[in-house]
Amino acid sequence: MRLDILNRGYRPSVKLLFALIRLFSGHPVPDAAKLVFYRPDFYGALAKEFTHEAMRGTSDWSVGDRELMAAYVSKLNESAFCIGAHTATARRAYQDGPMVAAVLADLESAPVAEPLRATLRMLGRLTTEGKLSSEDMREVLSAGVTRQQVEDALAVCVAFNTTDRLADAFGFEVLSPEGFEAGAKYLLKRGYR
């Protein structure tokens, strides 16, 4: 990563933890995980809580839907690490790689339900334009999405607009396909805490 403190600035106990993870998983600790271990009182501890709640807390959106939202937002932000991580996690959650690939290639023609399509469209507009109108929201609501689902989707969007920026600013290393698959397995088992 672009700051030496994020590569080498960890307490001995954290360095030992990283070594154990590498030993037992066969993969280095992803930079996204390392970031939240650096001075966690400043960012990591609360960021993990918020992201976990957005991605795994109670919601009418499935875990797969929320991982797909994370992947879609990351795709629009062109954030290579997060695209890889959340495309792999969405694929594994849905057990449907072709559908995930279709959404990321062309949302409008992808085989997804209209409420999810309308929600992804809204998140895309917010991410790329930085604003939304009430008319944009009415379109989503009229597709059958509840107000609560919109709020839940906005939380996912916010979590990943933050993480995408940090991934690209700090220069997260893009993992191998096997590394992303291992990360996806972990995220589906343990979440973001």
- Can you give the binding site for another protein, defined by CB under 8 A? 2-6, 9, 38-39, 41-43, 46-47, 49-50, 53-54, 57-59, 77-79, 122, 126-127, 130-138, 141-142, 146-148, 150-152, 154-155, 157-159, 161-171
* Nearest C-alpha neighbor of 37 from the set 13, 71, 57, 55: 13
Angle between helices 114-129 and 147-170 (to 10 degrees): 50
Alpha helices in the chain (DSSP H): 4-8, 12-25, 31-37, 44-56, 63-77, 80-94, 97-105, 114-129, 134-142, 147-170, 177-190
Q: Which is nearer to another protein, 22 or 147 (CB)?
A: 147
Q: Which is nearer to another protein, 126 or 187 (CB)?
A: 126
CB of residue 126 vs another protein: minimum separation in angstroms? 5
Pair of tokens at residue 50? 């918020």
Q: Which is nearer to another protein, 38 or 72 (CB)?
A: 38
CB of residue 109 vs another protein: minimum separation in angstroms? 25
Q: Which is nearer to another protein, 109 or 128 (CB)?
A: 128
Q: Which is nearer to another protein, 120 or 122 (CB)?
A: 122
Q: Which is nearer to another protein, 51 or 87 (CB)?
A: 51
CB of residue 98 vs another protein: minimum separation in angstroms? 27
Token pair 């919109």 in the structure block, residue:
150
CB of residue 169 vs another protein: minimum separation in angstroms? 5
CB of residue 185 vs another protein: minimum separation in angstroms? 25
d(CA 22, CA 19): 5
What backbone torsions phi and psi does residue 164 show, to the nearest 5 degrees?
A: -60, -45
CB of residue 25 vs another protein: minimum separation in angstroms? 26
Instruction: Map residue 78 onto helix, strand or coil.
Output: coil
d(CA 185, CA 174): 17
